[in-house]
Amino acid sequence: MLLKDKVIVISGVGPGLGQTLAKLAASEGAKVVLGARNQAFLDEVRESIEAMGGEAVALSTDVTSTKQCKALVSAGVEAFGRINGLVNSAYAHGDWAAADASDPDKMGEVINVICQGALRMAQACAPHMQAAGGGSIVNVSTMSTVKPFSGETMYAAGKGALSALTRHMANDFGKHAIRVNALRMGWIGGAPVYGFIDAQVEAGADRDTVVRSITDRIPLGIIPPEADCAKAVLAFLSDYSAVITGTSVDVNGGEYMAP
């Protein structure tokens, strides 16, 4: 199995990519440490993983709190003895406004979750990864940092800061054999995107037209399935990416191709 005997911490385990990541990581042999603010949802994911024979711990975690980030990591170490990997996927979007209308005084709240939260989690995990002989950190980013999408000003700014942080983390954590990479996601075929499509249909749009408005700009011609996007993250947690660090990889079906 791809992640056999690895202990993976995942922040931002919500109803989208986070919970799919957790379940797939467990199916690939990892013991998973689940963090998000909603304890009830975390417990559902943990129970689902345990029902399929996996191992998981779950603890309500607000990544804007250094204390809570450390508590999540400590819970993982107490349960499984070590930490081998971290996925930073904690989510905050901010307002859905264009740059000329977005409230700059609110932007710090988004950056605090996406970028500062990722650093808090990385710093909490790093000593344990070092003790385990190294590890891998994957920062979940977005295509909006390189291909603007109106209404995602704050979100893209937070993820853009995370992209810069990724390179600095890779440079500075490398001496501890800790790799750090970012994966820029485009459209992800899961509950949030399908909920958006459903909302457009309820407002009177034709479903096929809405779907085609997305897939016509994607060379592969599909909305990338959530499970396949999650598998890309797992590949960077695995030993198959043992010498890859400091990269930003596009996971979007070809909608944006980095120069």
Helices (H), 204-255: 207-215, 226-237
Is the domain of 239 the same as that of 135? yes
Q: What is the mean pLDDT of residues 161-188?
A: 97
Per-residue pLDDT tens digits for 89-100: 998 998 989 999
Alpha carbon of 147 to those of 25, 43, 46, 185: distances in Å?
29, 36, 35, 11
Alpha carbon of 206 to those of 94, 96, 201, 217: distances in Å?
28, 23, 6, 18
Is the domain of 136 the same as that of 120? yes
Which strands form 31-36's sheet, in the order they lie side by side? Answer: 56-60, 31-36, 7-11, 85-88, 135-142, 178-185, 248-251
If one counts every other C-beta atom within 10 angstroms of the C-beta of residue 243, the result is: 6
Per-residue pLDDT tens digits for 86-137: 999 998 998 989 999 999 999 999 999 999 999 999 999 999 999 999 999 9
Q: Is residue 61 part of a domain?
A: yes
| Segments forming the whole domain that contains residue 88 | 7-188+225-251
In the block, which residue shows the tokens 């700059």? 104
Q: What is the mean pLDDT of residues 221-242?
A: 97
Q: Is the pLDDT of residue 192 over 90?
A: no
Q: Is residue 259 part of a domain?
A: no
CA gap 162, 28 in Å, rounded: 27
* pLDDT score of 191: 87
Confidence tier at 1 by pLDDT (50, 70, 90): confident
Number of structural domains in the chain: 2
